[in-house]
Amino acid sequence: LYMAPMSARFEIGAGEVYLYSGQYEEALRAADRALAIDSTNAGTFLVRGYAYGEQGRYEEAAAAASMCIALGWDVHGRALLGYLYARSGRRREAQSIADSMTAQWRERSAGNTVPDLAMGIAQIYVGMGEGVRALDWLERAVGTDPYLLYLGIDPTFRSLRSAPRFVALLEKLRL
């Protein structure tokens, strides 16, 4: 089964719960269990990347983000990498990723199929400390990104939690 205990997806889900509750070592242990079951599941590396990033372990986090990209989760992997670059002071590289994702968003937005791009761009801008730009992109993500469901608990956006626009966005999303 997809979410059966002892499945990679189950362990990744557990890792996400730990990640969103600030238990980064537990998130890493769950990701390790998922990796032992299926070393090709990109979600494992996404959990690892965010957990390492929240711990300030940027090199390990960047390696995990690169694995996400290599395993086909390009948008999530690039968003994570851009966020990590921003958090670690590599602003030029972060901006470059944000610019390339913005160009991709513009190309795809004509067909109104832009899942994950807008929220990923928002993550990069929040990592750079540009809350207004991050909120602009989060508002663009409404209706296109299922991950907005986690917006209120995602540690990536903790710096925005007291911003009136962020609170209004959570209310709009009924979160």
Look up residue 36 and give its two tokens: 């032992």
First to last CA, the chain: 29
Tens place of pLDDT for every residue, the chain, 175 residues? 445 567 899 999 999 999 999 999 999 999 999 999 999 999 999 999 999 999 999 999 999 999 999 999 999 999 999 999 999 999 999 999 999 999 988 887 665 556 689 999 999 999 999 999 999 999 999 888 888 999 999 999 999 999 999 999 999 999 8
d(CA 91, CA 127): 9
Find the length of the chain: 175
Contact of 135 with 167, CB cutoff 8 Å = no
d(CA 141, CA 138): 5
Look up residue 62 and give its two tokens: 């960047």
Q: Around Cβ 43, how many Cβ atoms within 10 Å?
A: 21
pLDDT at position 6 is 74
Contact of 31 with 47, CB cutoff 8 Å = yes
Helices 117-127 and 91-109, interaxial angle, to 10°?
160
How many Å separate Cα 131 from the centre of its chain?
Answer: 16
pTM for the model stands at: 0.90
Helices (H), strands (E): how many in the chain? 9, 0
Contact of 120 with 102, CB cutoff 8 Å = no
pLDDT at position 29 is 97
Task: Please state, in angstroms and as integers, the Cα–Cα distance from residue 139 to each residue in 80, 99, 135, following that order.
Answer: 19, 18, 6
